[in-house]
Amino acid sequence: MPTGVDLQEFVSGFLLEAEEHLHAVNRNLVAATEALARGRPEPRAVRELFRSLHTIKGLASMVGAEPIAELSHEMEGILRAADRAGGQVSERALDLLLQGTRALEERIHAISQRGIAAIPAAPRSLIDALALEQSAHARPGGGGAIELELPDELARNLAAADREQLAQAVESGRRAVVVEFQPSPERAARGLNIAAVRSRLAAIGELVKVVPRASTSAPTGIAFGLVLVTDADDAVLAEAVDSTPAAILPIRATRARAARAPEVIATDAEREPTSGPGAEPGAEPGIDPVPMDHSIRVDVRRLDDALERLSELVVTRFKLARIAGELGARGVDVRELTQTLAEHARQLKRLRAAITEARMIPLADLLQRLPLVVRGLTRDTHKSVDVSIHTGTAEVDKAVADRIFPAILHLVRNAVDHAIEPREERRRTGKPETGSLRIDCDDSSGTSLLLTVRDDGRGIDREAVARKLGEPVARSDDELLQQITRPGLSTREDVTRSSGRGMGMDIVRRVVEMLGGAMSLQTAAGQGTTFRLRVPVSVTIVDVFSFAAGDQVFVAPVAMVDEILEIEPSRLVEAPAPQRDGPVARLVQRRGTSIPLLTLTGVLGSAVIGSVPPKALVVQQDRGAIAFGVDRMLGQQEVVVRPLDDALVRVPGVTGATDLGDGRPTLVLDLLTLGATVLQAKAGGA
């Protein structure tokens, strides 16, 4: 039977889910690292790490991303061992997991950029190290056996990690309980299902385990026991499961350990005696809305699509305004129409803001993995670095986030590698042994973010920079910034592990400038360095073709181009009435009809070049297609479009300017408007 199923169609879905899981992996690695520092295992983080990696592995194997499946498989092995040990992870294991996560991220990124075939192989040495660590970790046992007083069917379903979590909680004075939920068709119809109950309880406590069991009193004969650590009282818990406090059973836990006498921690003294057995579960209608996580995942391209649709609306609005203007000129009373149009314009503006807002992600999410990165960088060095991140509730457009994160990462790497001194050196110079790296964000302007990356290290060595460049020593921080962002400069001869790769300061500056932002530097010998990056909160990203016409490079949005036409000289027809100065030099045959072939240099006002262009971009207009001659197609890429603010350089048909990475402005052409202008001029002149 022909299947007609291509699992490659699911690659983008895989990427979305994998990214979400990697996000969770980073978060849980932070939790596990903190737990290690506190000396208490974090079994829940270990479990979630395992699950995320397992899901990534399964999906990767389905879409043919073998290196990702292999890496996550080996990482999973370490976590399985850790889970059996009650959530204990060694420092070495955490380091390997961290490296593994970076390797996964690189490969996910490679797929999203260049497709599944472009994925690099899994790094052998890391795979071997992960495998070795699994066998090293194969020792069972956590912190002593834990006795839990539970109904049998619950007790046998709890794993070592669950027991550890319960024991830790009751030892620190919290309550451990089992809450029973009985599903029923009537409750399901109200949206009260196990998933909803689960998220309600997770909001008021730590969910340890959920166990299904047969129950004669339950409407369907089945009930769920939700094992939970919580500070909430019985009434609140009962309400969450649409029942009475009779549905709640406290758990006692004792840890049998030689050093400590067994003690009973939780008691059921606080149990409410008021619950009548006659209370029928599910009797009270009208429950509160289910507290759930209200976020959904959306492919950012869908939001881009929505923005695109919106621009079409804006065009229609301009047409309406023009018609209203014409009516007004003919003496029709259009006051009400004009008012409605103005209201419409405001609504469009608000709609635009709403869609733009949906693209925003919290900066805190973006930067959350920096402490892990720093931990990785300081491993095997004689340095300690304390990272603190203060972003508040600042948010940034996904497009800006994707571009600015590598720049921040580079500044952080530089600070750790070069600026912050080893412990011994810091002690000698009277500084605290642990260096400080602080990232702040100020979003008070509303339209831009001011990101500050500040270290208390040795400061930038002006003399060294000058020597390296063979230039005079910078007299100001601004001059120094110009020098260190010169392409290819590295102030260190011995390239350290992390500075040898990645991007240089020139790229940091390029990224900031591409976004239309600015950066500044402040540095003092022996005291530290501060970089300030000002970037817009959001930008317009457009997928464009870049091409050369005449001796200039232009870009035009891919969405506007109907076709890229190869021009065969035999298909060319000289225009019936050649205009000496006009841009329409010729017609070109396309699918049986002749369409005007314009030269861009002509359209934009320079002299028409006589030679025949080898290619043309065809755009489809209301009044037919138009071809724009192109000497060379250079490529396709996403660019940040900056509007041309200066009214003097504003030209119809030019949307804005962009930077293709060479530091020079390139014009972004609106070929539709350009074509319309030309044809109108022609019609007017004829």
Partner 1 sequence: MAEILVVDDSKVMREMLIACLRGQDDLAFAQASSGLEAIEQLSLRPFDLVLLDLNMPDIGGIEVVEFIRSQDRLRSVPIIIVTTRGDETSRERALSAGATRYLTKPFTPEVIQSEVAAALGHAAPRS
Told to check if 5 binds partner 1 by CB under 8 A, we report yes
Q: How many residues bind partner 1 (CB under 8 A)?
A: 40
Residue 188 as a binder of partner 1 (CB under 8 A): the answer is: yes
Residue 115 or 212: the one with the smaller Cβ distance to partner 1 is 212
Q: Give the angle 24-27-28 at the CA atoms, nearest 5°.
A: 85
Residue from the set 78, 170, 176, 207 that interacts with partner 1 by CB under 8 A? 207
- Of 154 and 310, the one with the shorter C-beta distance to partner 1 is 154
Two tokens at 133? Answer: 């660590």
Is residue 430 a contact residue for partner 1 (CB under 8 A)?
A: no
Counting contacts by CB under 8 A, is residue 209 touching partner 1? yes
Which listed range, 58-66, 377-385, 435-443, 522-530, lies at the site for partner 1 (CB under 8 A)?
Answer: 58-66
User: How many whole angstroms separate alpha carbon 367 and alpha carbon 500?
Assistant: 22
Contact 111, 54 (CB under 8 A): no
Residues 220, 339, 434, 636: which binds partner 1 (CB under 8 A)? 220
Shortest Å distance, C-beta 32 to partner 1: 18
Choice between 195 and 353, CB closer to partner 1: 195
> Which of the ranges 56-64, 97-105, 593-601, 677-685 carries the binding residues for partner 1, by CB under 8 A?
56-64
User: Is residue 390 left, alpha or beta, with left meaning phi > 0 and alpha meaning psi from -120 to 50?
Assistant: beta
CB count, 10 Å around CB of 469?
Answer: 15
Which residues in 152-171 contact partner 1 (CB under 8 A)? 157
For residues 616 and 547, what is the distance between their CA atoms, to the nearest angstrom? 10
Per-residue x/- track, 223-252, partner 1 (CB under 8 A): -x----------------------------
State the DSSP code for 649: G
Asked if 221 interacts with partner 1 (CB under 8 A), we say: yes
Does the CA dihedral 259-261-264-265 come out positive or negative? Answer: negative
CB of 10 or CB of 405, closer to partner 1: 10
61 makes contact with partner 1 (CB under 8 A): yes
Q: Say if CB 438 and CB 530 are below 8 A apart.
A: no
Angstrom distances, CA of residue 145 to CA of 46, 138, 319: 19, 18, 77
**Angle between the 91-114 and 11-38 helix axes, to the nearest 10 degrees?**
160
Which of 118, 132, 138, 195 touches partner 1 (CB under 8 A)?
Answer: 195
Instruction: Name 146's Cβ contacts closer than 8 Å, sequence gap at least 6.
Output: 163, 164, 166, 167, 253, 254, 255, 256
* Site membership for partner 1, residue 222 (CB under 8 A): yes
The least distance separating partner 1 from the CB of residue 682, rounded to whole angstroms, comes to 52
Minimum Å distance from CB 296 to partner 1?
11
Length of the chain: 686
Rama region for 509: left / alpha / beta (φ>0; ψ in -120 to 50; rest):
alpha
CA distance 1 to 372: 50
Is residue 198 part of the contact set for partner 1 (CB under 8 A)? yes
Binder to partner 1 among 176, 210, 247, 411 (CB under 8 A)?
210
Contact between 194 and partner 1 (CB under 8 A)?
yes
Cβ closer to partner 1: 54 or 102?
54
Q: How far is the CB of 131 from partner 1 (least distance, A)?
A: 15
For the beta carbon of residue 44, count every other beta carbon within 10 angstroms.
20
From 125-133, 177-185, 329-337, 624-632, give the range in contact with partner 1 by CB under 8 A: 177-185
C-alpha separations of 211 from 217, 329, 416, 531 in Å: 16, 76, 47, 53
Footprint on this chain of partner 1 (rule: CB under 8 A) = 1, 3-5, 7, 9-10, 13-14, 16-17, 50-51, 54-55, 57-59, 61-62, 64, 157, 183-185, 188, 193-195, 198, 207, 209-212, 214, 220-222, 224
